[in-house]
Structure 1
């Protein structure tokens, strides 16, 4: 079995375990005072790590006269996140812009899933170990690009947008055949090991920065170049019914999320400690702080360029419904923010 085979087998075993974890949370929609939240891998989910570590949801619940029980599960990829939400295995799902737009479109007029808030604005890098690849035009059928979810995740949409920008209108899916689905940790391990089977990866912090510390890995593009500037990477969303039936729990979560943003932006050192504690990784603290200090990485509840993703997905037929503005995608609690 090659490196890719071993990586995929490990990923499948991990996902099987995550499936059991999600199943353990399955059941009726949560009652007021209980909330089930799914998170993913990476520094983009730092606001969730902070509010989890500091029990901020519980704190804000008490301020509202409510004892809140919080249950957590970790999933990989937007498709798994949305399936868990629609099956009522979780109450809040978190992933990239692509999966949000997919589930918003799919449930419009029914479950009415909307975003609660953005979690950040962060660039996504396409990295590669192939020294001959300087631009997208240099990739060949021998290359394989790892993504957490092919065709549907935010990384997949960024790649499609980049391909169309490079090769012209209507070519957006030309690279889909080069993509394979792997969780970020496994794809990063494959690149760092020099795998001949995985030669590219679109990820996010901290994985892309970790990869670029290795001299045999280089950056092909940043999503900020593709989108024309900073854009939202991750968001968190819920069904309209959860918000309606659990108003205090919902308010406690949103208040906790905003406080978590304040914690991160006020003290990068403390935020790095929390990230390392929650993730039990082998990254050094100084490295994590350097990522947080990068002005391209912003922790904010306000969305950025979400509309650009929606326009693209509607154009290529990935969405039936086109939002009139970014506010259509979010519950009204956030409509006062300056977003796009």
Structure 2
């Protein structure tokens, strides 16, 4: 997969062999687009598309309060129900099933089959905390992000809105990469290094790094690398790593950025999450509250059916999914063929089936990130997907 982001020298300039030379091979246009997506205030994007030129829909703050169980029948009989789907960062190919769902109006399709009319909107959140607040306050209907976010949300709301998982979005590895030639394993990191992760301690990257630290340094050493970690969004972290003008010399990234980083001169992989977890694991998932689930049974059923169909479309037509992602995300420095190769990568599985959730949950409980240890993965997923062969 290292050749996925192999660049044409006529576009990005000649490569250099020095450690920090040539790190500007990622196009400025691509960086500006990613940084703008991460830094901008959260905006609802119309269901008709995700192009950068599309006018924004009203902010979720303008939405009416979520329906309570006693008035749900009125909402589901209502006209053009707006269903807001949130993504933590929303940047990356792991959100492809939701992009396919919204762009191809699959939720609208399955809702119509159940006799209701809905309109899906996509909402990007730069930080996980803001998305969590929007979900529990009823300003957001579905949230999506990393495994650890779902688990933490389930744990925090067990006595209130009771967040549970709806389904996985994708199983894919995440790579820890660095520009420091002296770092071959995580044991080689020193106080001079800075490792960028989306959220310190709580993100899936941070939790995986803690797992790796315990495996490398021994029991009780989960925090060994914490002093070297810095909370930074993926686009900013990639820019810092490739520019080489900051202290950031490592990034625990995700597709497609991790492939782009590894294609740059002087960048190499230090850690693969599949090795740490002992096999494929879910990277991103989608969840909602039991309050919303119970109050909106038809909307929820339509969402599950739409998500299942979105996964099917990606599996059947990866070329079409690649073209859609390129268009809607405004990606100009990757070809559709390069994106398709990522989608087809044997390491990546587009599935709703939860993978390695209990491994994450048990570890997070051991280190104090979860106050409750679930008995099985079905404890934090709705019964609608409990028949899947998850773990």
TM-score (norm 1): 0.93
Structure 1 position 297 matched with structure 2 position 351: no
Secondary structure of the structure 2 residue equivalent to 1:18: coil
- Residue equivalent to 1:3: none
- Contact kept in structure 1, 2:164 and 2:382, CA below 8 Å: yes
Secondary structure of the structure 2 residue equivalent to 1:319: coil
Structure 1 position 318 matched with structure 2 position 353: no
Listed as ranges, the matches of 1:217-296 within 5 Å are 217-282=267-332, 283-296=334-347
- In the aligned structure 2, how far is the partner of 1:297 from the partner of 1:210? 16
Q: How many residues align?
A: 332
Deviations 1:197-246 (A, max 9, x none): 21111121111111111121110010000000000110100010101111
Shift of 1:16: 5.6
- Residue equivalent to 2:160: 110
TM-score (norm 2): 0.81
- Residue equivalent to 2:66: 29
- In the aligned structure 2, how far is the partner of 1:149 from the partner of 1:79? 10
Structure 1 position 17 matched with structure 2 position 27: no
Q: Where does structure 1 lack aligned partners over 5 or more consecutive residues?
A: 1-6
- In the aligned structure 2, how far is the partner of 1:41 from the partner of 1:286? 19
Shift of 1:77: 3.8
- In the aligned structure 2, how far is the partner of 1:236 from the partner of 1:194? 35
- Contact kept in structure 1, 2:144 and 2:285, CA below 8 Å: yes
- In the aligned structure 2, how far is the partner of 1:145 from the partner of 1:89? 33
Shift of 1:293: 1.7
Shift of 1:22: 5.5
Shift of 1:26: 5.1
1:212 and 1:168, CA in 2 relative to 1: closer, same or farther beyond 3 A? same
- In the aligned structure 2, how far is the partner of 1:13 from the partner of 1:58? 26
Deviations 1:77-109 (A, max 9, x none): 433321221232211110101111111011113
- RMSD across aligned positions (CA): 2.0
- Residue equivalent to 1:203: 253
- Contact kept in structure 2, 1:26 and 1:88, CA below 8 Å: no
Structure 1 position 328 matched with structure 2 position 365: no
